Amino acid sequence: MDTVVVTGASRGLGRFCADELHSRGYRVVGLGRTPPRDAAFETRAVDVSDSKSVAAAVHDLRRDASVYALINAAGIASMNLVVTTPSETVRRIIETNLLGTIFCCQQIAPALIRRGNGRIINFSTLGVPLAIKGEAIYIASKAGVEGFTRVFARELAPHGITVNAIAPGPIDTALLAKVPQDKVDAVVRQQIIPRQGTPQDVWNVVSMLLAPESSMVSGQTLHVGGA
C-alpha cells in the first residue's frame, strides 16, 4: 500500500485530498497543527514552519519505502494592503506557506529518492498570475513556492520523482471564509473558466499528477480555472 503524506490535512483542500486518498486505499499520513479527531486516516501534530517539528514528526518516514507522495497543502492567508500588514503576519505567512513547503520537501524527499520514484505536489494560487490587489504577501509566498517547485523538480528528476504545483482560483474552503463574495466573484471573472472551482476540481488535478502516466510532467504549475 502506497503512503501519501499530506500537510494541512486538518481542513480545507488538504483534508479533502486526504479523505479522497484514504477512500481510494492509500495509507495517508495527515500532518496538521491541530490534527482532526474525526479523520479516518493517520494524523500527526506538526508545525510545518518549524523545521525541527517537521523532522521529528516524519523521521520514521524517511526510510519508509511505501512513501510515494507528498502533498503540501498547508497554507494560511491574510488579505490586507502591504503597507497595513503587521510584520508578524508577513512572517507567519511566508514561514507557513513557503518555508513549510520547503521543510516538508527536505524531510520526505529522501524516502522518495530511496524508492526511485514518487510525486511531490505543492500548492500555489491563481493569484500569482492574476496579481490580486490585497494579497501581496500571500502571493509572494506562493510565487516562492512556484520557483522552488521548478528548481526542486530539476534536482529530483534524476531520481524519477516529479515535483509540480497546483494553483487554484478561489475554492470554497475555510481559507476563503473571510473573503467577501464580491471579491471572490471579481477573481473568478478573471479566470479563463469563469466558474468558482470546487475541492473536487482540485482533487482531479491532484489525482492526475499522482498517476504513473504523469511521469513526464514536472516543474509545472497547473492553474485550476486558468489564468
Nearest partner of 93 among 72, 76, 73, judged by Cα:
76
User: Which of 2, 36, 44, 51 is in the footprint of other proteins by CB under 8 A?
Assistant: 51
Element (H, E) at 92: helix 87-93
Q: Which residue among 26, 103, 123, 138 is the active-site one? A: 138
Stretch that binds other proteins, among 16-24, 73-81, 106-114, 202-210 (CB under 8 A): 106-114
Q: Does 72 bind other proteins (CB under 8 A)?
A: no
Q: Which is nearer to other proteins, 114 or 183 (CB)?
A: 114
Residues 175-194 that bind other proteins (CB under 8 A): none
**Binding track, positions 110-139, relative to other proteins; x by CB under 8 A:** x--xx-------------------------
For other proteins, the binding residue among 34, 84, 158, 180 (CB under 8 A) is 158
Q: How far is the CB of 179 from other proteins (least distance, A)?
A: 36
Question: In this complex, which beta carbon is closest to other proteins, that of residue 98 or of residue 139?
Answer: 98
Q: Given strand 118-123, what is the order of strands in its sheet?
A: 42-45, 27-32, 3-7, 67-72, 118-123, 161-168, 221-224
Q: Which regions of the chain does DSSP assign to beta strands (E)?
A: 3-7, 27-32, 42-45, 67-72, 118-123, 161-168, 221-224
DSSP letters, 146-175, are HHHHHHHHHHHGGGTEEEEEEEE--BSSGG
138 is catalytic: yes
The β-bridge relationship of strands 42-45 and 67-72 is unpaired
Give the active site residues.
138
Residues within the interface to other proteins (CB under 8 A): 51-52, 55, 63, 106-107, 110, 113-114, 155, 158-159
